[in-house]
Amino acid sequence: MKILIAGFQHETNTFAPTKASYQSFIQGEGFPPMAHGDDVLKLRDVNVPIGGFVQWAEAEDHELIPVIWAGASASAHVTQDAYERIAGAIVDRVRAGGFDAIYLDLHGAMVAEHLDDGEGELLARVRGIVGDAMPLVVSLDLHANVTARMVDLADALVAYRTYPHVDMAETGLRAAHLLALRIEHGVPFKRAMRRVPFLIPVNGMCTLVEPARGMYGMLETLEKEVVSLSFAPGFPASDFDECGPVLWGYALDQQAADEAVDALFSTLVDDEARWDVPFLSPDEAAREAIDASRDATKPVIVADTQDNPGVGGDSNTMGMVRALLRHDARDAAVGIIWDEKAAHAAHRAGVGARITLALGGGSNVPGDSPLEGEFEVEYLSDGRFRFDGPMLNGMSGELGPTACLRIGGVRIAVSSIKMQVFDRNLFRAAGIEPERMKILVNKSSVHFRADFEPIAERVLVAKAPGPMAADPADLPWRNLDARMRVRPLGPTLSELRASAA
């Protein structure tokens, strides 16, 4: 076959402070940088979905027509300019024709400045050109907000099953097998879809622990009787009517599809209370981390989850830094703080210098502000590194001019490019050996666990001020379906509005 392939990934937090520009996608911001044409094929050995698909296609001797691959760190809306330039490149190549099937590597939670359902719109534009008969399969992130439009327009959607996302390339391979089966079958699969009636906090979706681990185990067992099953717990910070968890599946007959999806749905809603998550305040997290680290042989790790750039934070709030300083933490490290001005000031001053800065605090989050003080410049680098952890193993990364600034007993890794801490080498780019620290504060929610849990004494989750509300009930929803419960066992949006009236 000749298969057209392309990728366009963005997870949109409509409440976040910073939008995703075209330049964001050029840089990648923790994703591979934008690739065009045959350069897309170089992703074959990277743990992203299109990498798994390319490996399968080349092994099966199919001809690939690569268009573009573009991803950017989670943030507020994708700008209209960025969306239209990237989606336009895909649609223009689709219009040129000359292929037998299409594979798209999408996220599933993209909101642009001018439209709510970024993926549904892209699929509609593609279908409008190729018609209903063209086989079209799509891989999605576990955090996709799957819309009815997406399900209707694709022959098959398949989502990751791990969070941290260590199975991204594997998901691309599953998409490839679905494409092959769709072509062998000759007609579209029967499909079933159920929307879950409550939002799930991001921290409650980790598949290393229950209940998510058991849910995906059940999914894989039930999948033996059908073609494919997927569960996307959703991204609970995209303010549009179809935000939330979705279960869906495909089978060769409708009853089998319905029964498998209904079984998953019943288990999920019966266990609703288990999907809730407890959080610590910054001071509670600092005290617990200091106490636990005294006799520990490994670092205690604190997830600064509400400023996670992987879900729309700007990675520059100072709540956890201030808490560590208040409680006189020692041998602590915080990373990565995105503050280009501070990083360049450190480079101008040089290693060993003491500089006065107003560090971070640039997200205009209530309860947060820059940390003013004198810092010692302990280390400087160009910010280039390699990912050695499980998620993007082997890929190169770049943080721009990077520095380690020390204040009291706290070392702070400061970068010029925003990136979530899901690999230990981000700390090493700032001269910090994470294994030698007593306490590590990571600007991440769950992804860090893939590389950091093996070295962790304990993992704590802190709810310091930040742009991404860890509890979706804390968000000022306007466009969410009013029947949706804003957290497990919580009120619906309409009930919340009534109580506030």
- How far is the CA of 196 from the CAs of 12, 118, 261, 494, in angstroms? 20, 21, 11, 17
Helix (H, G, I), strand (E, B) or coil at 354: strand
The count of structural domains within the chain is 2
**pLDDT, mean over the chain:** 96
The confidence band for 29, taking pLDDT boundaries of 50, 70 and 90, is: confident
Chosen domain end from 275, 303, 323: 275
Say if 483 falls within a structural domain: no
Residues 222 and 337 in one domain: no
Chosen domain end from 238, 254, 275: 275
Helix axes 254-270, 212-222, angle to 10 degrees: 160
Residues 59 and 78 in one domain: yes
Say if 488 falls within a structural domain: no
d(CA 214, CA 94): 40
Mean pLDDT of 42-68: 97
Residues 247 and 296 in one domain: no
Question: What sign has the CA pseudo-torsion 54, 57, 58, 62?
Answer: negative
* Chain CA centroid to CA 82, Å: 19
Residues 219 and 110 in one domain: yes
Residues 294 and 270 in one domain: no
The confidence band for 468, taking pLDDT boundaries of 50, 70 and 90, is: confident
Residues 168 and 299 in one domain: no
Say if 436 falls within a structural domain: yes
Mean pLDDT of 439-451: 97
CATH number at residue 229: 3.40.50.2300
pTM above 0.75, yes or no: yes
- How far is the CA of 367 from the CAs of 305, 322, 374, 437, 464, in angstroms? 15, 12, 22, 28, 9
User: How are beta strands 410-415 and 402-407 bridged, if at all?
Assistant: antiparallel
Q: Convert the pLDDT of each residue in 243-257 to its tens digit.
A: 999 999 999 999 999
Beta-carbon-side half-sphere exposure of residue 143 (alpha carbons within 13 Å): 27
The confidence band for 11, taking pLDDT boundaries of 50, 70 and 90, is: very high
pLDDT at 501 > cutoff 80: no
Residues with Cβ within 8 Å of 500's Cβ and at least 6 positions away in sequence, in order, are none
Residues 159 and 304 in one domain: no
Say if 499 falls within a structural domain: no
Residues 251 and 311 in one domain: no
Residues 111 and 131 in one domain: yes
Percentage of the chain with pLDDT > 70? Answer: 100
Say if 239 falls within a structural domain: yes
The confidence band for 17, taking pLDDT boundaries of 50, 70 and 90, is: confident
Q: CB–CB of 392/423 below 8 Å?
A: yes
Q: Convert the pLDDT of each residue in 181-211 to its tens digit.
A: 999 999 999 999 999 999 999 999 999 999 9
Say if 8 falls within a structural domain: yes
Q: DSSP E strands: which ranges in 318-401?
A: 332-338, 354-359, 371-381, 384-386, 396-398
Residues 240 and 293 in one domain: no
For residue 316, give its domain range: 282-470
Residues 153 and 224 in one domain: yes
Chosen domain end from 250, 275, 300: 275
Say if 490 falls within a structural domain: no
Say if 94 falls within a structural domain: yes
pLDDT value for 325: 98
Q: Convert the pLDDT of each residue in 319-369 to its tens digit.
A: 999 999 999 999 999 999 999 999 999 999 999 999 999 999 988 889 999
Beta-carbon-side half-sphere exposure of residue 501 (alpha carbons within 13 Å): 6
